[in-house]
Amino acid sequence: MSNCLVELSITEKRFLAKQVIKNVKFRILKGEIVSLVGPSGCGKSTLLRIISGLDTDYTGDVRVLGSLPQLHSRGVGFIFQEPRLLPWLTVAENVGFDLGRKGGIHPRVRELLAEVGLQDCADAYPKQLSGGMAQRAAIARGLFTQPSLLLLDEPFSAVDAFTKMRLQDLLLSIAANHETTLLLVTHDINEATYLSDRVITLSSRPGRLSGEVRVPITRQRDRRNPELLRFEAEVLSLLDKDNADFADALAS
Ligand SMILES: Nc1ncnc2c1ncn2[C@@H]1O[C@H](COP(=O)(O)OP(=O)(O)OP(=O)(O)O)[C@@H](O)[C@H]1O
Ligand SMILES: [Mg+2]
């Protein structure tokens, strides 16, 4: 397969009369960690839904792992803002659910639970987990099919700051261990620059590409590295420009 896991070129995406995305084009290469940031409503979740095959109603051309996006592709995992665990299944059964309920006894479930630090919670039910633990279970579930591409939609926005840092580092070690390519949507610019090789910025009304910031700092990165702040400032400038244009439009 080529080195390009996602090749996306959307000329237009509408919801009825409303144009929500216009001329968005990007590629994600194998092994990259890329973040999408932009104001609420600019189409970030819609882009992930298109890449995962959940939304097929757009104009343009999208290739994922060399083919048209396919719903439930085992090569693509999806992690949402909230864990979305099935409450009537145990943690192990949730993680292995791709194989049905009996997937819970698959040896990979135990390995993944150990990797996310939930080895003692295999037989617990989701309601017995804290928010951070539930999200770790969701990460393990997202990895169960050994996807080469993991899509994450604001995966850590519902957890506290300390848990968030630990989950970010867990994600980085998982991406390295499993050679997984990550495409992450986040509102947290600090998170985007800390995690990513590239941060793609979008503007809204309709969603368009506004720029891209490369973060050429090798890992393990130090969160206190002042260089990261410089890249954060670059991302903010791209986003601020959009805000300024919006304010101008409101004023005129
Ligand atoms: N099923 C739908 N039907 C109609 N409009 C929709 C639907 N889903 C999304 N939209 C609209 O499409 C636009 C983009 O939505 P989307 O959820 O992709 O934005 P987002 O960038 O993920 O926003 P947020 O940061 O708030 O999550 C918004 O204007 C939204 O109202
Ligand atoms: Mg969204």
Atom of ligand 1 nearest to the CA of 202: 21
Determine whether the shortest distance from the Cβ of 66 to ligand 1 is under 6 A: no
Atom 8 of ligand 1, nearest CA residue: 46
Nearest ligand (C-alpha, residue 54): 1
Ligand 1 pocket, residue 21 CB under 6 Å: no
Confidence of residue 241 (pLDDT cuts 50, 70, 90): confident
- Write the residue with the smallest CA distance to atom 1 of ligand 1: 15
Ligand 2 centroid, distance to 107 Cα (angstroms): 34
Indicate which ligand has the atom closest to the C-alpha of 17. 1
CATH number of the domain within which 51 lies: 3.40.50.300
The pLDDT mean for the chain works out to 94
| Ligand lying closest to the C-alpha of residue 80 | 2
Contact 40 CB / ligand 1 (< 6 Å): yes
If you measure from the C-alpha of residue 83 to the centroid of ligand 2, how many angstroms do you get, rounded to a whole number? 15
pLDDT band for position 2 (cuts 50, 70, 90): confident
Q: Number of folded domains in the chain?
A: 1
Residues with Cβ within 8 Å of 131's Cβ and at least 6 positions away in sequence, in order, are 83, 158, 159, 163
Q: Is the pLDDT of residue 128 over 70?
A: yes
**Domain hosting residue 184, numbered range:** 4-251
**What's the confidence (pLDDT) of residue 32?**
97
What is the predicted pLDDT for the residue at 16? 94
The dihedral built from the CA positions of residue 132, 134, 138 and 141, taken in this order, carries a sign that is positive
pLDDT at 252: 59
Stated pTM of the model = 0.94
Question: Cα dist. 32→6, 46, 77, 106, 158 in Å?
Answer: 11, 21, 15, 29, 25
57 in contact with ligand 1, CB cutoff 6 A = no
- The residue nearest atom 3 of ligand 1, judged by CA position, is 15
What confidence tier does 47 reach under pLDDT thresholds 50, 70, 90? very high
Closest CA to 48 of 31, 34, 30, 32: 34
* pLDDT for position 45: 96
